[in-house]
Amino acid sequence: MASPFIEIDPAFVEKTVLELAAFGAVGETGVSRTVYSPEWIGATDYYAGACAAAGLEVHRDAVGNVWGRLRGTTGEKSVASGSHIDSQTPGGRYDGALGAVAALVAVKALKEQFGQPKRTIEAVAFCEEESSRFPNANYWGSRAVTGRIAPQDSERVIAFSGETIATAMREVGLDPGRIPEARRDDISDFVELHIEQGPILEQAGLPVAIVDAITGIRHYRGVIKGVQNHAGAFPMDIRHDPLAGFAEIASGLINTAHRVGRPAVTTVGRVVVEPNFPGIIPAQVEFTIDARHPDPQARRHLYAMHEDLMQEVAKRRGLDIDWNVMIDHEPSPSDPAIVSTLQRVAGEQGVPFMTMASGAGHDSQQMAAIAKVAMIFVRSKDGRSHTPDEFSSVEDIVAGIRVLAAGLHALAY
Ligand SMILES: [Zn+2]
């Protein structure tokens, strides 16, 4: 059955985005809103109020996620949509917040235009995703929903400023002992709308993407050791210079990802040279590699090429090299049936789109532990994000929300 045309009011969308952005506003367009802060309380209260005004049942769970529920006629599991309400410090108005707003707008439109669904539909604002207050919070909001946070974990999640997340929860009236109550086992489908945070849609001239996977990521920490010596007295041909080896390795890794082509990405983001003086051949170079690919097999191949290159260069130059893997996350594929539903309804709604993988992590990859998931991306101006400069046009946002609402309609009515 073809999806019906769904009316989304651009003025309401814009008003809601701007009103939500007032909580933690920084300068003209920035937002600084960390989990369990006064700005966060304001934003979650606002979201709960907007859900209630739309005629949804409001529920706040044990970690402070806010749910707006439109009850279905059957007892089947829910279809849910949403994203996180916290931000970088400062970030912009759209990262996360747009997905929470989009879910609310979509459910409100469906209720007004089509009445009660068969299956319950829920809009959610997750309490935390950015790790901008607690570096190891690790998707606190959505992870709690999957039941993978124990009460005692809240004592081990420490803020940049030293307090535990347990303390921060108590300060806003939440009891860490009740974290397991946030767990849900009655959600079968989850669709998250998010800004793209990259330039691919803009380059393609398209407003919207359907996301078929969230990329897999590995972080390496490597150390190359050579022999520290005088920069003048030691001839070039008998040096064991770890910085020369590092330079060859860094450019080799990056060229490898270039040759593999999109969507492979490899970044050398941090380098520490010791002793780091102008007149000394260094003793060692420590560095990081962040390498990502959304296809499991291509990802393994990328890492094998990276490791072979490091071994080969170090051996040829007489250097010692060692590395360990700090982070290693498998790609998180979207549910193929939801992806094809979203592709179909986007076509029916007349929204031009492409299908792509996400290079960034999202709440959806947590929700994949308990539900079938997929995502919708909305074009980001200049691909920018995690900055007050992030921007998506109301036209693009409305296009994305129409795809979301039509997808929820297909799943729930
Ligand atoms: Zn986000």
- Residue 388 CA to residue 96 CA, distance in Å, equals 13
Mean pLDDT of 363-382: 98
Integer-rounded Cα Rg, in Å, for the chain is 24
Read off the pLDDT band of 310 (50, 70, 90).
very high
Three-state secondary structure call for residue 221: strand
> 96 alpha carbon to ligand 1 midpoint, in Å?
4
Going by C-alpha positions, the residue among 195, 212, 145 that lies closest to residue 373 is 212
> 162 alpha carbon to ligand 1 midpoint, in Å?
24
The H or E element that residue 123 is part of is: strand 121-126
Percent of the chain residues past pLDDT 90, beyond the cut: 99
Q: What is the pLDDT of residues 119-142, one digit of tens each?
A: 999 999 999 999 999 999 999 999
> 400 alpha carbon to ligand 1 midpoint, in Å?
16
Is the bond preceding residue 275 a cis peptide, omega within 30 degrees?
yes
> 249 alpha carbon to ligand 1 midpoint, in Å?
32
> 385 alpha carbon to ligand 1 midpoint, in Å?
9
Provide the pLDDT for residue 231: 97
Neighbours of 27 (CB within 10 A): 9
> 129 alpha carbon to ligand 1 midpoint, in Å?
7
- pTM: predicted TM-score of the whole model, two decimal places: 0.94
> 3 alpha carbon to ligand 1 midpoint, in Å?
28
> 63 alpha carbon to ligand 1 midpoint, in Å?
18
> 64 alpha carbon to ligand 1 midpoint, in Å?
17
Read off the pLDDT band of 2 (50, 70, 90).
confident
Strand-pair category, 216-225 with 320-329: antiparallel
Q: Which residue has the tokens 């590995």?
A: 218
Q: Can you give the three-state secondary structure of 17-81, one letter per residue? A: HHHHHCCCEECCCEECCCCCCHHHHHHHHHHHHHHHHCCCEEEECCCCCEEEEECCCCCCCEEEE
> 138 alpha carbon to ligand 1 midpoint, in Å?
12
Domains and CATH numbers, the chain: 10-214+331-412 (3.40.630.10), 216-329 (3.30.70.360)
> 83 alpha carbon to ligand 1 midpoint, in Å?
7
* Phi, psi values for residue 330, rounded to 5°: -60, 155
- Residue 335 CA to residue 410 CA, distance in Å, equals 15
Q: Where are the beta strands (DSSP E) in 282-409?
A: 284-293, 320-329, 332-333, 353-358, 372-378
> Residue 351 has which token pair?
């929204």
> 15 alpha carbon to ligand 1 midpoint, in Å?
20
> 33 alpha carbon to ligand 1 midpoint, in Å?
13
> 350 alpha carbon to ligand 1 midpoint, in Å?
26
Percent of the chain residues past pLDDT 70, beyond the cut: 100
> 44 alpha carbon to ligand 1 midpoint, in Å?
16
pLDDT higher than 80, residue 293: yes
